[in-house]
A = this chain, B = another copy of it.
Amino acid sequence: MQQNLPQTLALLARTPAALNALLRDLPEAWTLSNEGENTWNAFEVVGHLIHGERTDWMRRVKIILQFGETREFDPFDRGGHIREIQGKSMAQLLDEFARVRAENLGELRALNLRQEDLERRGRHPALGVVTLSELLAAWATHDLTHLHQISRVMAHQYREAVGPWSAFLGVLKCAGHSSAS
């Protein structure tokens, strides 16, 4: 399907509550364990989502609306979550994610974007020309990438514990699809 703003907003609005329900007060054996060297645990993923809210998605929306293709987006700092998580608890991160996401969606709704706005183009430092519609679709799909990742990272912790059931549990066959998703 095409990107559809109400559908995109509906998903973006639900992710913080879904992660909150899954992760708040969950034992740290689930949330602080990763898949091995240079992989993220669920705590780091929530930090990464916060960092995207602060520095990436809405900022890029505004760059497209203000400058179009003439001003390239700032590159996203994939290590930026490290500052977000330092000294914080999972509960703090979940609260923070809910807050910054709600602020961003408030700003996005206030823009009252029309169909012709969604076709406006910007310039991504690696991907080249992209549309505002693609940016919004990517924002929502990025949430799903990390929900997919969190479920895989947590399942990995029970890889041995499930014994022969590993043959039936698809998530244990997923090797991940990039360095950090």
The interface of chain A, by Cβ under 8 A from chain B, is 1-4, 6-7, 10-11, 14-15, 17-23, 25-27, 29-30, 33, 124, 127-128, 130-131, 133-135, 137-138, 140-142, 144-145, 147-149, 151-152, 154-155, 157-158, 160-165, 167-174, 176-178, 181
Contact = CB atoms under 8 A, between A and B. Distances in A.
A145 B170 contact: yes
A138 B177 contact: no
8 contacts: A1-B29, A1-B161, A2-B161, A14-B22, A18-B22, A133-B161, A138-B169, A171-B177
A144 B154 contact: yes
A62 to B, nearest CB: 18
A161 B155 CA distance: 29
A25 B6 CA distance: 12
A131 B163 contact: yes
A7 B28 CA distance: 9
B161 A144 contact: no
B138 A148 contact: no
A127 to B, nearest CB: 4
A151 B147 contact: yes
Contacts of A158: 1, 3, 137, 140-141
A155 B164 contact: no
Contacts of A151: 144-145, 147-148, 151
A82 to B, nearest CB: 20
A147 B145 contact: no
